[in-house]
């Protein structure tokens, strides 16, 4: 098994993030540092990260958090800001699946299952992420059509999105936007491409997993049905 897949199966992080552990020289195989991503781990090999032996964990953990604004969705923050792991305190190590901006709220999954995290995050999986978005002003039909067709912003192409107008409040518009890509600042950049601003952003669903009535800042373990759904992806 490739070294990044092995590290991910130990519950350290998603496969992509585990590549960084290797490239940063934090991994040893049978006592020798490894930095090649092509490194294969075989039965009986001893793998260490930061001097600690790691091994694949079997019982996995799946959690959903209603992330509040004002915390980062990474495991640690170099600016010392509050992280989602300051809210979700469990004895075993879990990591956030993908990311929500500091000022974005809503559904964030945390797990130690690198395979599932990979499936959810990889654009090729085509898993729909649904956002509730309050946009400044009232986008015209032509603007909505552009969002649906796919827009460019800052040299990045954003693919077609599902866009539904939910209503207007005080001259601003509530939209529901469905995307599958998971690019950085995806929704904000799509809206900025229209010359408008996002005033409020909340993720409400990832595929069939819905935030439901979970309060802001609360978290819970996923149900067996939700876990089966993720495994079926």
Among 13, 19, 112, 186, which residue sits at the site for ligand URA (rule: CB under 6 A)? 186
Binding residues for ligand URA restricted to 191-210, rule: CB under 6 A: 201
Among 5, 16, 26, 188, which residue sits at the site for ligand URA (rule: CB under 6 A)? 188
Q: What is the 3-state secondary structure (H, E, C) of the chain?
A: CEHHHHHHHCCCCCHHHHHHHHHCCCEEECCEECCCCCCECCCCCCEEECCEEECCCCCCCEEEEEECCCCECCCCCCCCCCEHHHCCCCCCCCEECCCCCCCCEEEEEEECCHHHHHHHHCHHHCCCEEEEEEECCCCCHHHHHHHHHCCEECCEECCCCEEEEEEEECCEEEEEEEECCCCCCHHHHHHHCCCCCEEEEEEEEECCEECCCCCCCCEEECCHHHHHHHHHC
Query: Does position 176 bind ligand URA by CB under 6 A?
Result: no
Cβ proximity to ligand URA, 3 vs 191, nearer residue: 191
Choose, from 13, 24, 78, 101, the residue flagged as catalytic. 101
User: Using alpha carbons only, what angle is made at residue 228 by residues 226 and 232, rounded to the nearest 5 degrees?
Assistant: 115
Residues 112, 115, 118, 124, Cα dihedral to 10°? -160
Per CB under 6 A, the segment of 80-88, 108-116, 138-146, 185-193 that binds ligand URA is: 185-193
Between 135 and 174, how does the x/- string for binding to ligand URA read (CB under 6 A)? Answer: ----------------------------------------
Cβ proximity to ligand URA, 106 vs 114, nearer residue: 106
| Residue 101 annotated among the catalytic residues of the structure | yes
Between 45 and 84, how does the x/- string for binding to ligand URA read (CB under 6 A)? Answer: ----------------------------------------
Q: How far is the CB of 186 from ligand URA (least distance, A)?
A: 4
Q: How far is the CB of 228 from ligand URA (least distance, A)?
A: 26
Query: Does position 100 bind ligand URA by CB under 6 A?
Result: yes
> What residue ranges bind ligand URA (CB under 6 A)?
100-101, 104, 185-188, 201
Which residues are tagged catalytic?
Answer: 101
């Amino acid at each position: 098994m490739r070294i990044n897949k092995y590290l991910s199966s130990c519950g350290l992080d998603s496969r992509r993030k585990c590549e960084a552990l290797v490239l940063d020289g934090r991994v040893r195989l049978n006592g020798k540092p490894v930095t090649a991503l092509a490194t294969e781990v075989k039965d009986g090999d001893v793998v260490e990260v930061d001097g600690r032996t790691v091994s694949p964990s079997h019982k996995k953990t799946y959690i959903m958090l209603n992330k509040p604004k004002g915390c980062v969705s990474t495991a640690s923050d170099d600016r010392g800001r509050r992280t989602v792991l300051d809210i979700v305190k469990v004895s075993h190590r879990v990591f956030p699946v993908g990311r929500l901006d500091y000022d974005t709220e809503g559904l964030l999954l945390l797990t130690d299952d690198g395979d599932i995290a990979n499936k959810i995050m990889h654009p090729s999986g085509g898993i729909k992420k649904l956002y509730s978005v309050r946009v400044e002003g009232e986008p015209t039909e032509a603007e909505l059509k552009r969002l649906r067709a796919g827009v460019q912003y800052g040299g990045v192409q954003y693919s077609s999105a599902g866009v539904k107008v939910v209503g207007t409040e005080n001259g601003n518009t509530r939209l529901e936007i469905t995307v599958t890509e998971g690019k950085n600042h995806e929704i904000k950049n799509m809206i900025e491409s229209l010359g408008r601003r996002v005033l409020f952003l909340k993720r409400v669903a990832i595929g069939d997993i819905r935030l439901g009535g979970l309060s802001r800042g609360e978290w819970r373990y996923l149900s067996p049905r939700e876990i089966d759904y993720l495994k079926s992806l």
